[in-house]
Amino acid sequence: MSEQHPHPPVSVLGLGTMGTALATALLGAGHPVTVWNRTQTKADPVVAGGAARAADAAEAVRAGEIVLTCLLDHTSVHDVLDAHTGALAGRVLVNVTNTTPEESAELAAWAAGHGIDFLDGGIMAVPPQIGTPEAFVLYSGSRRALDTARTALAALGDVRYLGTDPGLAALQDMALLSAMYGMYGGILHAFALVRTGGVSAREFAPVLARWLGGASGLAVPTAEQIDNADYALDVTSNVTMQAAAYDSLCDLARARGVDPLLLEPFGGLLRRRVAEGHGHEDATGVIDYLTTTTSPGEHA
């Protein structure tokens, strides 16, 4: 491989909505970018923006010191790369396709077996945020791959390296997405509820966003209670009170013809905490009904 260039050439394989945003950001940062997509016409906008079009995946791999894959899923990554291990050997492969930690570990072992320097990534942004201060990307895997690719990766969003275990980025990515979808379910329920009172979504959105911004701060004291294994630590809203209030939320929804199916499971767990003698604690203890894993690193 050549001496490190301040703007090493990057190849982007996969030009869906996200891959297109990544290639565009890399071009904007001054990197020579070569692109390939299964459906070739999707490359047209980035080629018009200055990227080189590869005739096939093999040509794209050969053009990049850093090869960035942004495909649909784990299977599609192997579909695209398996025939090109010879060309990939000695290069840095960064896979930002959404995968499970186990899939990332499999890909890391596959890469190691073929002499490919592998870094796994989890993009915590939507395509329009790429290249803006709002975007951050989690990475794990080869430290050397990170060092080689860091400048290019910085063009996509804040680089957050989690360590050499290749599955770490995927694990935290999926945890963050799980939290987001839980919140999104709550958002849709809230809109459905206010709609029964004639309040439009547009009217309600600013107060909802303000409320959720504040509520996100719950993560920090909740983490303290979990890591101290003390759900009674600094309680400001005990479970007995929360379970009663929560029942009211579900009762109101039913009375208004809104199905509380997204809310009900959590209410059941709050009532169970009270019934089992934890009414004085915070709601954090519900975590014990979700998993038998109690220590970091323990995988049930």
Q: Interface with ligand FVH by CB under 6 A: which residues? A: 14-19, 37-39, 42, 70-73, 76, 79-80, 97-98, 123, 126-127
Tell me whether residue 22 or residue 258 sits nearer to ligand FVH (CB atom). 22
> Rounded to the nearest whole angstrom, what is the least distance from the CB of residue 274 to ligand FVH in the complex?
38
- Closest distance between ligand FVH and the C-beta of residue 21, in Å? 8
Quickly list H helices, 29-156.
Answer: 44-48, 57-63, 74-81, 85-88, 101-113, 143-154
Instruction: Give the nearest distance from C-beta 201 to ligand FVH in angstroms.
Output: 21
How near is the Cβ of 76 to ligand FVH at its closest, in Å?
4
Distance CA 148, CA 145 (A): 5
CB atoms within 10 A of CB 214: 8
Amino acid at 109: A
83 or 207: CB nearest ligand FVH:
83
Structure tokens, 48: 């018009």
CB of 20 to ligand FVH, least distance (A): 7
Nearer to ligand FVH, 129 or 238 (CB): 129
Nearest residue (CB) to ligand FVH, 16 versus 49: 16
DSSP string spanning 185-233?
Answer: HHHHHHHHHHHTTT--HHHHHHHHHHHHHHHGGGHHHHHHHHHTT-TTT
CB of 78 to ligand FVH, least distance (A): 9
If the CB atoms of residues 68 and 253 are measured against ligand FVH, the closer one turns out to be 68
Say whether 117 sits in a helix, a strand or coil: strand
Nearer to ligand FVH, 35 or 149 (CB): 35
Q: How many CB atoms lie within 10 A of CB 238?
A: 17
Contacts of 117 (CB under 8 A, 6+ apart): 90, 91, 92, 93, 111, 142, 144, 145, 148
Residue of this chain nearest to ligand FVH (CB atom): 16
Q: How many helices (H) and strands (E) does the chain have?
A: 13, 8
Rounded to the nearest 10°, the torsion over CA 300, 140, 82, 130 is: 120
Q: Which is nearer to ligand FVH, 71 or 94 (CB)?
A: 71
Q: How far is the CB of 247 from ligand FVH (least distance, A)?
A: 36
